[in-house]
Homo-oligomer: A and B are copies of this chain.
């Protein structure tokens, strides 16, 4: 029996439609247009592509969008000044600084400088702390929120389930483990956080009801690491060489999709799984930030 394949694009479109409806309402009733500022430093091709798609999505859903591009030689002071300006700018409800940043700039310092109420990417220490404390006034990072929504909107029973997360990055593994172990009926999972130093990794993965791969290694999760009937969410986006492809490469996830889909009950593909959810959650968070800032319920 082959797994049901999650259509991340369709689920993201559900969220985007909800967001667009809220934006239309805010414009009509409150003369308010939520705004997102996206900051890009340098010209890394993947980052340029991400920033463009965020920009386009803002336009599509009716949000105000600002795009600021600094050269790759920009200094930390310059970026901090820009953040400070955006923190006080009226039209901007959310600020996203595209990572990775060039080496001369400390990501920690930059994320910590974003006004927590505009930190729609949820990477500042105070928002991470609120997430760990189950305080709902903060913002959770977009990719793990997207994973959570994928599970919820696919009807997966999270409460009491054993979730195994592979990878403890700040962007995905760590926050997704915090979200799914929160004390709420939408979470309440037992969560195991694994990583490169974990012993008996295959055995631990086989004990998962829900397996989340976010380790950044192409096809790391093999079929023998998955128990029959498990739900498998693949957060990886890896470029592998492919001479038959037009660009010379192909995107694959952290899961050996073709083999694992024969054992899993539900699986997310790459591309078309978690990816579209990340942008959807960014738009959702920006609109929520606008409502909170203007005290609209």
Tell me if A174 counts as interface (CB < 8 A to partner B). yes
Contact indicator A162/B199 (Cβ below 8 Å): yes
Within A187-244, the residues touching B (CB, 8 Å) are: 188, 190-195, 197-201, 204, 207
Is there an interface contact between A193 and B195, defined as CB atoms closer than 8 Å? no
In the complex, which of the residues B160, B190, B194, B199 contacts A193, with contact meaning CB atoms closer than 8 Å?
Answer: B190
Cα A133 to Cα B109 in complex, Å, equals 13
Between A160, A183, A192, A200, the greatest number of chain B beta carbons within 10 A of the residue's beta carbon is seen for A192
A residues apposed to B, CB below 8 Å: 108, 124-135, 138, 159-162, 168, 170, 174, 177-178, 181, 183, 188, 190-195, 197-201, 204, 207
| Contact between B194 and A199, CB atoms less than 8 A apart | no
Q: For residue A193, which residues in chain B have a CB less than 8 angstroms away from its CB?
A: 177, 181, 190-192
Q: Are B135 and A129 in contact (CB under 8 A)?
A: no
B188 & A190 in contact (Cβ 8 Å cutoff): no
Evaluate contact between B198 and A190: CB separation under 8 angstroms: yes
The residue that A178 contacts in the complex, of B132, B159, B188, B204, with Cβ under 8 A, is: B132
Contact of A161 among B159, B192, B199 (CB under 8 A): B199
Instruction: Supply 12 further A-B pairs (C-beta < 8 A) apart from A131-B132, A132-B178, A191-B192.
Output: A108-B133, A125-B125, A125-B133, A126-B126, A128-B129, A133-B174, A160-B197, A160-B199, A162-B200, A188-B195, A190-B199, A191-B193
